[in-house]
Chain A
């Protein structure tokens, strides 16, 4: 398992351990929340697992009203937009995430820069996704 740096392993860890388990490059120290077998910075192959704290800041977001099929199945749509965005993890790198615990119909109440934490309370068993909620 140690060198299984794949999306399957990422989402399994999210589901089973409730954590973002990414990678760190042993050669240059580059951190990536998405597991990858090769360092995109120094091009080395010596990657090791790295656990992220789950603390982050919200960089930017959108509230989506015209939703994909998968989100429509969960009841989202014109009358119930959901929020997604990009957060900067405490350790430095950014990741795309659902933003939970906010009202997608009132984006003016959602503030860039706010502290958020990883939210694994409501993970979809079939297709788990990364979510952060206000800290």
Chain B
């Protein structure tokens, strides 16, 4: 008997009725609990009809590694204490960078099962306490510590190897990767919660101005790509990936309030329904069928599309896991927006920009908004929540009345992938 391919439906529907995000960035004096409270406060203060904290019946918090980043294990009860919601059950979920994607999924399942009506889900990560090599080591521990890490593969290294394979197999080049970053910074510049609220052009101009102030030779950049191709300005991290191909190291937290559909209108007139959820598992890259694709992403997307009863053509916009620029290109191919190998051309043609036919990472993505790894999955959901409610401000997608959005959250190099399809009910 095989149950793996059986199409499943939730026993009852679940909606998002509130969302909160902390500021993303580097905050030396804040611990992860403080960041989570900041996100929670943002949620409470933005809920249309308010809500009673006492209504929360359970909570799931994604966090990758407070143990290594903050020397703090067992963080979930600390969050419950800081929110004053003890003794409700709270559980920490760890699936690397997909931790809060998985936490949201557990919250959905808890409500769908009938166990609870109101569940808080979120995620948090405090990363900037460690120096860069320490963070590199912690992130590498999401790969196989026995057979990938000893081979010298870091987290950027594995995605660098994916990029090289993509370049060899298709017509992908280094400029395609850089253009993903340029696009995401253009979006992030419009996001007041983003770590980098600056376009690449603005960063380039700042570097030129600084050189002039200091009496140094002013670099002769004509375009963003000139700047990004300068090894002084954009050094190699793991060839073919450079600094501006990598999501930053970030402190941040995110949370949403999930409720059973039948009570959603007690909280807001504009609930966003979780129409489809998918989660799948993959092997280390060396054991994957393909070196240019994440099999877990394809499987998770299929589950989510099937449950929601949609196809890729129905998706108005998506937040995808651009921990590296190549990861966004691979994601847009794995999700079916573009055929394998066509992702780079779609970037060239502006199809993934705010005004394109497949807007990707309107928030700025992990690249520009920031990537507090345990918070990123729910952070993505929050962007779609605001876009579908038409309240994303300057970065609102240009297409009228977006109704269906997608999130794609990857743990490690595809060991875990969580895909959600969200829908605004008319």
CB contacts (< 8 Å) of B150 on chain A: these are 11, 127-130
A95 to B285, CA, bound (A): 9
A97-113 interface code vs B (CB 8 A; 1 in, 0 out): 11000001001000010
| In-complex Cβ contact of A84 among B153, B235, B236 (8 A) | B153
Min Cβ gap B112→A in Å is 30
A63 to B243, CA, bound (A): 14
- Contact A84 B164, CB 8 Å, known A64-B152, A65-B236, A69-B137: no
A67 to B241, CA, bound (A): 13
Whether the pair B162, A84 counts as a contact (CB closer than 8 A) is no
Whether the pair A65, B140 counts as a contact (CB closer than 8 A) is no
Whether the pair A34, B147 counts as a contact (CB closer than 8 A) is yes
B308 at interface by CB-CB < 8 Å: no
A115 at interface by CB-CB < 8 Å: no
B155-173 interface code vs A (CB 8 A; 1 in, 0 out): 0111011111100100000
Whether the pair B152, A65 counts as a contact (CB closer than 8 A) is no
Whether the pair B240, A60 counts as a contact (CB closer than 8 A) is no
Whether the pair B151, A81 counts as a contact (CB closer than 8 A) is no
Whether the pair A94, B287 counts as a contact (CB closer than 8 A) is yes
Min Cβ gap A59→B in Å is 6
Min Cβ gap B128→A in Å is 16
| In-complex Cβ contact of B238 among A34, A59, A65, A94 (8 A) | A65
- Contact A61 B152, CB 8 Å, known A67-B133, A86-B285, A96-B284: no
Main secondary structure of the interface of B (DSSP, over half): helix
Contacts between chains A and B (CB distance < 8 A), count:
113
Whether the pair A64, B133 counts as a contact (CB closer than 8 A) is no
Count chain A CB atoms within 10 A of each CB in B151, B152, B285 and give the residue with the most. Answer: B152
CB contacts (< 8 Å) of A72 on chain B: these are 133
The count of residues in chain A whose C-beta lies closer than 8 Å to any C-beta of chain B is 35
Whether the pair A96, B153 counts as a contact (CB closer than 8 A) is yes
- Contact A86 B133, CB 8 Å, known A63-B239, A64-B152, A68-B140: no
| In-complex Cβ contact of A97 among B151, B158, B168, B240 (8 A) | B151
Whether the pair B140, A95 counts as a contact (CB closer than 8 A) is no
Task: Determine the residue in chain A with the shortest Cβ distance to B285.
Answer: A86
B295 at interface by CB-CB < 8 Å: no
The count of residues in chain B whose C-beta lies closer than 8 Å to any C-beta of chain A is 38
Main secondary structure of the interface of A (DSSP, over half): mixed
A9-50 interface code vs B (CB 8 A; 1 in, 0 out): 001000000000000000000000010000000000000000
CB contact list, B239-296 vs A, under 8 A: 239-241, 284-287, 291
B154 at interface by CB-CB < 8 Å: yes
- Contact A61 B161, CB 8 Å, known A67-B133, A107-B240: yes
| In-complex Cβ contact of A94 among B153, B162, B286 (8 A) | B286
Task: Determine the residue in chain B with the shortest Cβ distance to A59.
Answer: B291
A114 at interface by CB-CB < 8 Å: no
Task: Determine the residue in chain B with the shortest Cβ distance to A84.
Answer: B152
CB contacts (< 8 Å) of A93 on chain B: these are 287
Whether the pair A62, B160 counts as a contact (CB closer than 8 A) is yes
Interface residues of A (CB under 8 A from B): 7, 11, 34, 59-69, 71-72, 78, 81-82, 84-86, 93-98, 104, 107, 112, 127-130
Give the 3 A-B residue pairs with the shortest CB-CB distance, closest first: A62-B160, A60-B165, A84-B152
Complex A-B: 9 CB contacts under 8 Å:
A62-B239, A63-B236, A66-B133, A66-B136, A66-B237, A68-B140, A81-B239, A86-B285, A98-B152
Known: A65-B238, A84-B157. 13 other contacts (CB 8 A): A62-B241, A64-B154, A65-B236, A68-B137, A69-B133, A69-B134, A82-B152, A84-B161, A86-B285, A95-B147, A96-B148, A96-B285, A98-B152
